[in-house]
Amino acid sequence: MADRSPRRLTALVGLLVLALFLLPWVVGRYSVYLAIQILILSVFSLGFNLLFGYTGLLSFGQAGFFGIGAYACAKILLAVPNLFLGLGGGVAAAGVAAVVLGFLSVRHTRIYFSMLTLAFGMMVFSIAWKWRDFTGGDDGLVGIPRAPLEIPGLWSLSVATQERYYYVVLVVSLLAIWAMYRLVHSPLGLTLQAIRDSESRAEFAGVPVRTYRLIAFTIAGLYAGLAGALLTPLENTVTPPIAHWSTSAEPVLATLLGGVHVFGGPIVGAFLFFMLKDIIVRFTQYWLIWLGAIVVALVMGFRGGVASIFARR
Amino acid sequence: MDAIAFQGLIGLSMAMYLWLISAGLTIIFGVLRIINFAHGSLFMMGAYLAFTFYGQLGLPFWLAILLSLLGVGLLGLVMERGFLRRIYGIDEAYQLLLTFGFILILDDAVKIIWGGVFKIPAIPPFLDGAWRVFGRPFPVYNAFVIAVGVAVAVGLWALFEKTWWGRIVRATASDREMANAIGVNVPRVFSGVFVFGSMLAALGGALGTPVRVVAPGIGAAMIIQAFIITVIGGLGNLKGAFVASLIVGILSAYGTLFFPVFELFLIFAIMAVVLLLRPQGLFAR
Amino acid sequence: MTTELLKTEGLSKRFGALAAVDGVNLTLPSGRLTAVIGPNGAGKTTLINLITGSLLPDAGQVYFKGEAITRLASHQRTRKGLSRSFQLMNIFSRLTVLQNVLLPVLSRHGSTLKPLARVDDQAKAVAEAGQILKEVGLWEVQLHPAGALSHGDQRLLELGIAIAPAPELCFLDEPSAGLTPVERAAVLGLIRKLAVERRTTFVIVEHDMDVVFSLSDWIVVMNRGRLLAEGPPSLIRENLEVREVYLGEELSA
C-alpha cells in the first residue's frame, strides 16, 4: 500500500481538511447535516475495515457496538449533560462489549466468525428492543440534550447549534482518522495484515494470532461506539434500529464502494454512500433493496471499489 | 408437572421449524462449504408464497406447500447458478457478502410485493382441532408439524445413507476433487444440493402459514436462530442440528413460560456457554 | 559442544483408525543437518506438525532443550527457538518481500504491539530483515508484493521467513519442491550456508534422494508412522529394510 506521490497526496488531504473547516460558511444547513453523517459513517467504516481489509475478519454485527455507543451516550447525557462524558462513556461501553464478544468470537474460523457477529449484533438489537425499562423499548430514548463540552467548574462550551456540533464531530473524526492512519502503518498494522494473509505463517512468526484478532476487534468496536456516540447528540433520540443488521450493512457497503484495500476507501465510500442514498430515497422508500443490489453488483464485478479505478494507472 | 410436560410438547413443535431451516443450512454447508446468509430469507419466501397460494388464492393446502417449495427452489437455483457459482474461486468473504446482499434485497422485496403484515389464514379443516394431552388441548396442527419434522429427519437419514444420490452427495462433500475424478458432475451436485436445502427452508416457512404471522423480518430472526443451532450442534453436523433444534425449541418454550422478558437472551447465553466450553459444538466428532 | 535440542518420546497421532504417527522416539542434537525421508503417507509432515505445534498429539511428549513443549501453542514454540517452513507455499502474499521477513523479526524483538510507531522507523528490525534478504538473494525485489514473485523466489522467501525468528531448530518441509534444478541447487547451497553461518540446526523433509544424500549429515527414515531406521547417509544407503521400503526405486546409486 505504498503512496505513489506522498507530497501530492498530503497536499490534497490538507486542502480537503481546510475545505471541511470552511464548509458551514459555504453550504446550507442540510449539507452540513449530511457532512456530519458522512464523517460519522467514515469513523464507523474505518473501524469495520480495520477488521475486514486489514485483518481479514468480516463482521456483520458492528451495528451492535454502534448501538451500544449511542445508547450509553444517551443514558449519560440524560443524567449528566456533559459531552465529554457522553462521548467517552459511549466509547468505553462499546469497548467493553467488544472485548467480551470478541473473546467469544475470534477463536473461530472466518465463516463461523461472521455468523457469530451477525448473531451477536442482533442480540444487542433484541435487548434494545425488549428492555423497555432501560432502553425505552421500540420507542427508544428521546429528549437527549446536545450537551455542552464541559470541564466542571472550569470551562464550558455550548455546542447546541448544528454548526458548532459539526465542528465537534469534525475534530473528533479527524483525530480518529489520524489515529487509524498511524495504526495501520505501525508494527501492529503490519501484524494484522500478516494475520490476514496467512494465519498459520503468522503463528510461526511468533505472533499470538487470537490475541491480535481480539485487539483488532476491540478497536473496531471502539470506533463503532464512537460513531454511535457522535450520532446521539445530533439526532437527540436513540431507537433500536441503529443496532439492526441493516445498519451493520452501512459500513460494509461504504467500504466496498470506496475500496477495501486502500486506507481512504471507507471514507470515500461513506461519501458515495450518502450521495447514493440521497438520490435513491427521493424516488422510493425501499432503500434496502437498492443497498443490497449495489452490494451484489460490487461483489460480482467490482470488488476493488472506486479505489480500483485509480489503481489501474 | 403436567403444565411442564405440555409446554415441552409445544416446544417440540416449535423446534421442528428450527430443524427444517437448520437442516437445509447444514446440508448446504456440508457439501458446498458456504453459508447462505439469505437462507432465512428463503424460509420467509416459503412462508409468503404458501400464504399467497393458500390464504389468498384459496388453493388446497398441500398444493400451496408444493408450489411454494418449487418457487423457492427456483429462487435458490438462480442464487446459486446465477451468482454464487461465479465467485466460488475467490475469497469466501465475498460469498458471505453476496448472500448478505441477498438478505437486503429479499427483505425489501417482500415489502414491495406483499406490503405489510397479514392476517393468519385458517388451519385446513382436516388438521384443525385439538387433542387432550396432559390435561390440556394440544392443537392437532402442532402434532402434524412434529410429524413432518420427524419424517424429514428420518427421510434425510435414509436419503444420505441408502440412496444412490445420497452417496454421490456424501462423496462430493468429503472430497470434491476425488468425486470429480470419478465422474461426478460436481457443479450439478452443488446446484442440486443448494436447491434441496433451500426447499427445506421453504418447507419450514410454508408449514407455519396457518399458525404463524407472515411478516418481513421473520427471515432475519430465523437465520439467527439457525446460526445459534449450528453453533450448539456443530457446523456441518446434521444429527447435531436436529438435537440442537430440539434443545433450542424446547428451552425457548420454557423460557417464554418462566422468563418472558429474557427468553431471547437465554438462547444467546446457551450459545455463549457452548462457545466457551466446547467451541466445536456439542456433537462435533 | 552439541546439545540435545529436540527429543520426542512415544509421540503418536491417530486420524480415525489410521495411526499417522505411531510411537516415535526421536532425538535431534544441535549442529547436525538431518533429513527425514519415507514413502508417501509415512507420517513425515504429521510428525513435523506435532513437533511444531500445528497439531496436538494423542500420546507422547516433545522436549525442546529439555523443556516439555508438547501442548504449547505454535507461536510460543517459535519464541523458544523452533521454526518451520511449509510444504504448500505459505507467505504473506499482499505484503512486500521485505515486510514478509520484517514481521518475524519485529515479533522477535517484541515490537509488534506498538500501535502508533511507524514500521519504517524500526531501524534495527528493518536492517536485520534486509540482511536476511541479502543472504537469501532477494534484496533486489524487496519492495515487490510477495505474491508476484516467481515460484522459485517464493521458496527462497519461505526460507527467509523461516530463519527470520533466528531459530535454533528449523524444520523445512520439502524446501525444493517444484523448483528447477538450478533453483534447487541455489536453495540447498543456501541451507548449508545458513546452517553454518547462523548456527541453525535444520531438519528437512525431502523426497529427492540426490538432495538428501548430498546435503544431510544424518538421515531418519519413516514408514507407516514409525521410525524405521536412522543413521549417517552411508549406513542408510546400505540398510536392507530401507531399500525394501523404497523398492529400490530411488536408492539406485
Q: Which residue type is seen at C218?
A: W
Is B220's Cβ below 8 Å from some Cβ in A?
yes
Q: Rounded mean pLDDT of B39-61?
A: 89
Is A190's Cβ below 8 Å from some Cβ in B?
no
CB A39 within 8 A of CB A173: yes
CA distance B100 to B94: 9
Q: Which residue type is seen at B49?
A: L
Mean pLDDT (chain A) is 91
CA distance C147 to C161: 14
Q: Rounded mean pLDDT of C40-45?
A: 83
Domain membership flag for residue B26: yes
pTM of the model as a whole: 0.90
Q: Rounded mean pLDDT of B125-129?
A: 80
Task: Say what the pLDDT of residue B267 is.
Answer: 79
CB C141 within 8 A of CB C118: no
Is A296's Cβ below 8 Å from some Cβ in B?
yes
pLDDT in tens, C210-251: 778 888 899 999 888 888 888 898 888 888 777 777 655 454
CA distance A57 to A49: 9
Provide the shortest C-alpha distance from residue C71 to chain A (in Å).
15
Number of Cβ pairs < 8 A linking chain A and chain B: 111
ipTM associated with this complex = 0.87
Does the pLDDT value for residue A55 go beyond 60?
yes
The reply to whether residue A286 touches residue B264, judged by beta carbons under 8 angstroms, is: no
Domain at B174, CATH number: 1.10.3470
Which cell goes with A247? 445498519
Provide the shortest C-alpha distance from residue B201 to chain A (in Å).
18
Pick the residue from chain A with its C-alpha nearest to B111: A286
Going by their DSSP bridges, the two strands C218-223 and C67-68 should be labelled as unpaired
Pick the residue from chain A with its C-alpha nearest to C160: A205
Give the best residue of A55, A101, A112 to mutate against chain B (max B CB count within 10 A).
Answer: A112
CB B51 within 8 A of CB B118: yes
Provide the shortest C-alpha distance from residue B125 to chain A (in Å).
36
Does the pLDDT value for residue C19 go beyond 90?
no
Q: Using 50, 70 and 90 to split pLDDT, how confident is the model at A32? A: very high
Q: Which of C102, C108, C118 sits opposite A206 (nearest CB)?
A: C108
Q: Which of A194, A201, A206 sits opposite C79 (nearest CB)?
A: A206
- Chain A residues whose CB is inside 8 A of the C104 CB are 205-206
Chains interfacing with C (3 or more CB pairs < 8 Å): A
- Chain A residues whose CB is inside 8 A of the B107 CB are 246, 288-289, 292
CB B201 within 8 A of CB B20: yes
Domain membership flag for residue B73: yes
Burial-class residue A267 by CB neighbours within 10 Å (0-12, 13-18, 19+). Answer: buried
Task: Say what the pLDDT of residue A4 is.
Answer: 57
Provide the shortest C-alpha distance from residue C234 to chain A (in Å).
34
- Chain B residues whose CB is inside 8 A of the A60 CB are 37, 96, 100
Domain membership flag for residue B285: no
Q: Using 50, 70 and 90 to split pLDDT, how confident is the model at B260? A: low
CB C78 within 8 A of CB C64: no
User: Residue A69: CB partners within 8 Å, gap ≥ 6?
Assistant: A90, A91, A93, A94, A224, A225, A226, A227, A228, A229
Provide the shortest C-alpha distance from residue C165 to chain A (in Å).
7
Burial-class residue A68 by CB neighbours within 10 Å (0-12, 13-18, 19+). Answer: buried
CA distance C157 to C32: 23
Q: What percent of chain C has pLDDT over 70?
A: 96
Domain membership flag for residue B284: no
Domain membership flag for residue B212: yes
**Domain hosting residue B81, numbered range:** 2-277
Task: Say what the pLDDT of residue C243 is.
Answer: 74
The reply to whether residue B97 touches residue A252, judged by beta carbons under 8 angstroms, is: yes
CB B258 within 8 A of CB B24: no
Residue with cell 379443516: B125
The reply to whether residue A204 touches residue C75, judged by beta carbons under 8 angstroms, is: yes
Q: What percent of chain C has pLDDT over 90?
A: 33
Domain membership flag for residue B152: yes
pLDDT in tens, A124-168: 998 898 888 888 888 899 988 888 888 888 888 888 889 999 999
Minimum mean pLDDT among B133-147, B197-211, B265-279: which range?
B265-279
pLDDT in tens, C147-175: 999 888 888 899 899 999 889 999 998 88
Highest mean pLDDT among A100-114, A228-242, C206-220: A228-242
CB C200 within 8 A of CB C170: yes
Task: Say what the pLDDT of residue A305 is.
Answer: 77
Pick the residue from chain A with its C-alpha nearest to C113: A188
Which cell goes with B60? 388446497
Is B28 or B128 the better-scoring residue by pLDDT?
A: B28
Task: Say what the pLDDT of residue C22 is.
Answer: 86
Is B282 or C70 the better-scoring residue by pLDDT?
A: C70
CA distance A210 to B165: 41
CA distance A201 to A208: 11
Q: Using 50, 70 and 90 to split pLDDT, how confident is the model at B16? A: very high
pLDDT in tens, B195-204: 999 999 999 9
pLDDT in tens, C118-140: 777 788 889 999 999 998 889 99
Pick the residue from chain B with its C-alpha nearest to A288: B104
CB B99 within 8 A of CB B88: no
The reply to whether residue A182 touches residue C92, judged by beta carbons under 8 angstroms, is: no
Nearest-5° Cα angle at B175, B173 to B177: 120
Give me the number of domains chain B comprises: 1
Phi, psi of A151 (to 5 degrees): -110, 105
Q: Which residue type is seen at B246?
A: L
Nearest-5° Cα angle at A245, B241 to A297: 100
Q: Which residue type is seen at A288?
A: L
Is B284's Cβ below 8 Å from some Cβ in A?
no
- Chain A residues whose CB is inside 8 A of the B106 CB are 292
Give the best residue of A59, A104, A108, A115 to mutate against chain B (max B CB count within 10 A).
Answer: A115
CA distance B37 to B102: 8
Phi, psi of C56 (to 5 degrees): -105, 140
Tally the C-alpha atoms within 13 A of residue C71's C-alpha that lie toward its C-beta: 2
CB C108 within 8 A of CB C168: no
Pick the residue from chain C with its C-alpha nearest to A197: C92
Q: Using 50, 70 and 90 to split pLDDT, how confident is the model at A313? A: very low
Phi, psi of C21 (to 5 degrees): -130, 130
- Chain B residues whose CB is inside 8 A of the A126 CB are 264-265
Domain membership flag for residue B131: yes
Does the pLDDT value for residue C91 go beyond 80?
yes
DSSP of A1-35, one letter per residue?
---S-HHHHHHHHHHHHHHHHHHHHHS-HHHHHHH
Is A129's Cβ below 8 Å from some Cβ in B?
no
- 3-class secondary-structure state, position C64: strand
Q: What percent of chain A has pLDDT over 90?
A: 69
Tally the C-alpha atoms within 13 A of residue A78's C-alpha that lie toward its C-beta: 18
Phi-psi region of B34 (alpha: psi -120 to 50; beta: other; left: phi over 0): beta
User: Residue B74: CB partners within 8 Å, gap ≥ 6?
Assistant: none
The reply to whether residue A296 touches residue B264, judged by beta carbons under 8 angstroms, is: no
- Chain A residues whose CB is inside 8 A of the B104 CB are 246, 249, 288-289, 291-292, 295
Domain membership flag for residue B168: yes
